[in-house]
Amino acid sequence: QASTSGRTNECDLRVYAVTDSSCNAAWKRPLGEAVRLAILGGTTVIQIRQKQADGGQFCRDAEEVISIARKAGVAVIINDRIDVALATGADGVHVGQDDISAAAARKLLGPYKILGVSVKNVEQALKAQANGADYLGAGAVFPTSTKDTSVIGLGLLSEICKAVSIPVVSIGGVNVDNAGSTVAAGCAGVAVVSAVFGVPDPSAAAAELRRRVDAALERR
Ligand code: TZP
Ligand code: MG
């Protein structure tokens, strides 16, 4: 990724779709098909999150998603697995607070891969930024059944956005109805699992999310 504004590893974070094997299974949609539909609707970045897959399957899935996404100019971020990201030539990695540290991830990735870090408060956000994160995922902002995690709400989300200079995406229970409120709170985009992959029409869902995010960005 070339730098366009002094910061390295820019990435269009407006509609950030995170894959989840359970959503794809529920709708009997193969991963590649789900990703194709999400991108067709206007998804700007894809994260592959395979909590169950072993390394081999994760690499094959990543290669397939990368080949689909590259043609559309959409970045692909790998959840947790730096080895999978490096082996497949993905655009970057996303790590949580219990994964390998942001500092270690940055060291392993080198300067030119995108590094995202999950945060729940201002302290974690500032630390991740200092340790080389390119963007933050803050949440869960709203209640969600996709992941067993605590809810931070819009107030804390806004504090996190104000505290850092890197972009923040909202995650957790984000949908078309509340996406705009997280952008109003300072987010550069929204990260979703079920709002795109857990619905009958991922393409239409991504398109509506994109409209809501773009409209909220316009109003800022
Ligand atoms: N991290 C914080 S909440 C969450 C993750 C991965 C789940 C988001 O899923 P959904 O379906 O968009 O609420
Ligand atoms: Mg993780």
3 flagged as catalytic: no
Say what the pTM is.
0.96
Q: How far does residue 181's CA lie from ligand 1's centre (Å)? A: 17
Q: Which atom of ligand 1 is nearest to the CA of 173?
A: 13
Bond prior to 140 in cis (omega within 30° of 0): yes
pLDDT in tens, 79-124: 999 999 999 999 999 999 999 999 999 999 999 999 999 999 999 9
**What pLDDT shows up at residue 193?**
97
ipTM of predicted assembly, 2 dp? 0.99
pLDDT in tens, 145-161: 999 999 999 999 999 99
Question: Does the CB atom of residue 193 touch ligand 1 within 6 A?
Answer: yes
The amino acid occupying position 137 is G
For the chain, give the mean pLDDT.
95
Q: Looking at 49, 106, 113, 212, which residue is catalytic?
A: 49
Contact 44, 12 (CB under 8 A): yes
